[in-house]
């Protein structure tokens, strides 16, 4: 049994894969296992995974016949033995002390979740990130969920170390983009103790062809589902003031309105009819809370609810 199991989904990332895996293999925390969950790669990643496994007996390889990052993460979890679970994307890399730092904090505070900072790494070599203090801070689930919702803390699982029970309670939704946006806040919300290590250990490589940089109607729909699933989640936390909850609710509704408009502009109403109906139903169900919305969102949802044919005609492309 390893202290930490690190899951790396792999799909057509051969140019970046060795650097990524080497950064995990070279961790100062030696008692780790690495699960490469490769699914349907066509660029040489398949063979490279096997080659990497032959070089280090801590590496296990799964060749999956179903595509999708969520499926890869969920399937890989069944093959882990670690008390704590971490995730790294196969085109990124990490500082060699990342998991020793996160694991030490998890053990010291008996935490269900420990997270660190990240920095953006661009193809031309320049970086952008947070100013680190190096401090370790114990935080409440309410604080972290609020910060995830306001994007002060990343929704990515890759800057985090989770207790096994936390991950097992919250599988990633399969067949969807922005799956981390839909589930990581729930992992935080159900944690008994959360620790923040204020240091940028994770290098997030900015690929122009990555999921978040290439949007389609389907991706807009999935982002909408993830964001609308957050409505009123903060009401479970008594230690968050009502005005703060209302402000975040307004932000979430505004985000969904913007996503829906972009969905329509991309032709989503014609290509994804059932999905369009589902989004309209979500808007209609939340309209009862119109007093908490921005005036602009209230008017837009009123039109979507009561004047849909005209609204669609105006915004659909």
Residue range 203-246, pLDDT digits in tens = 998 866 655 567 899 999 999 999 999 999 999 999 999 999 99
* pLDDT on residue 119: 85
CA distances in angstroms from 296 to 224, 229, 258, 264, 292, listed in the order given: 18, 21, 11, 18, 12
* pLDDT on residue 219: 96
Distinct helix (H) and strand (E) counts, the chain: 13, 10
Pull the structure tokens for residue 312.
């669609």
Q: What percent of the chain has pLDDT over 90?
A: 90
For domain 4-211, which architecture applies?
Answer: Alpha-Beta Complex (3.90)
Q: What is the CA radius of gyration of the chain?
A: 21
> What is the distance between the alpha carbons of residues 159 and 63, in angstroms, rounded to a whole number?
25
Q: What is the pLDDT of residues 6-57, one digit of tens each?
A: 999 999 999 999 999 999 999 999 999 999 999 999 999 999 999 999 999 9
Burial 73-96 (b: 16+ CB within 10 A, else e): bbbbbeebebbbbbbbbbbbbbbb
Decide: 41 and 112 in contact? Cβ < 8 Å: no
Helix (H) or strand (E) holding 121: strand 113-121
According to DSSP, the β-strands at 4-10 and 32-39 are parallel
197: three-class secondary structure by DSSP: strand
* pLDDT on residue 205: 87
Residue 209 has a CB neighbour count (10 Å cut-off) of: 7
Helix (H) or strand (E) holding 269: helix 268-271
Per-domain boundaries in the chain: 4-211, 215-315
* pLDDT on residue 58: 98
Q: pTM to 2 decimals?
A: 0.94
Flag whether pLDDT at 261 surpasses 60. Answer: yes
From the number of C-beta atoms within 10 Å of its C-beta (0-12, 13-18, 19+), residue 182 rates as buried
Pull the structure tokens for residue 74.
């969920």
Q: What is the average pLDDT across 255-278?
A: 96
């Amino acid at each position: 049994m390893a202290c930490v199991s690190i899951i790396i989904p792999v799909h057509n990332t051969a140019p970046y894969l060795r650097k990524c895996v080497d950064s995990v293999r070279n961790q100062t925390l030696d008692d780790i296992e690495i699960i490469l969950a490769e699914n349907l790669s066509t660029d040489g990643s398949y063979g490279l995974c096997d080659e990497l496994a032959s070089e280090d007996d801590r590496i296990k390889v799964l060749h999956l016949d179903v595509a999708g990052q969520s499926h890869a993460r969920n399937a890989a979890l069944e093959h882990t033995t670690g008390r704590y679970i971490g995730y790294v994307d196969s085109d990124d890399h990490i500082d060699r002390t990342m998991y020793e730092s996160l694991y030490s904090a998890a053990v010291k505070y008996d935490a269900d979740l420990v997270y660190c900072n990240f920095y953006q790494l661009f193809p031309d070599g320049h970086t952008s990130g947070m100013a680190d203090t190096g401090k370790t801070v114990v935080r409440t689930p309410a604080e972290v969920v609020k910060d995830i919702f306001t994007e002060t803390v990343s929704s990515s699982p890759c800057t985090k170390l989770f207790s096994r029970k936390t991950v097992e309670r919250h599988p990633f939704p399969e067949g969807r983009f922005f799956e981390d946006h839909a589930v990581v806040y729930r992992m935080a919300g159900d944690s008994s103790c959360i620790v923040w290590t204020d240091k940028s250990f994770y290098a997030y490589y900015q690929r122009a062809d990555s999921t978040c940089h290439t949007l389609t109607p389907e991706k807009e729909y999935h982002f909408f589902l993830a964001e609308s699933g957050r409505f009123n989640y903060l009401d479970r936390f008594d230690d968050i003031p009502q005005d703060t909850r209302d402000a975040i609710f307004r932000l979430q509704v505004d985000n969904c309105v913007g996503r829906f408009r972009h969905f329509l502009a991309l032709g989503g109403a014609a290509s994804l009819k059932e999905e369009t109906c589902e989004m309209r139903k979500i808007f209609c169900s939340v309209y009862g809370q119109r007093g908490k919305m921005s005036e602009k969102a209230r008017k837009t949802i009123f039109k979507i609810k009561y004047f849909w044919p005209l609204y669609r005609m105006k915004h659909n492309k």
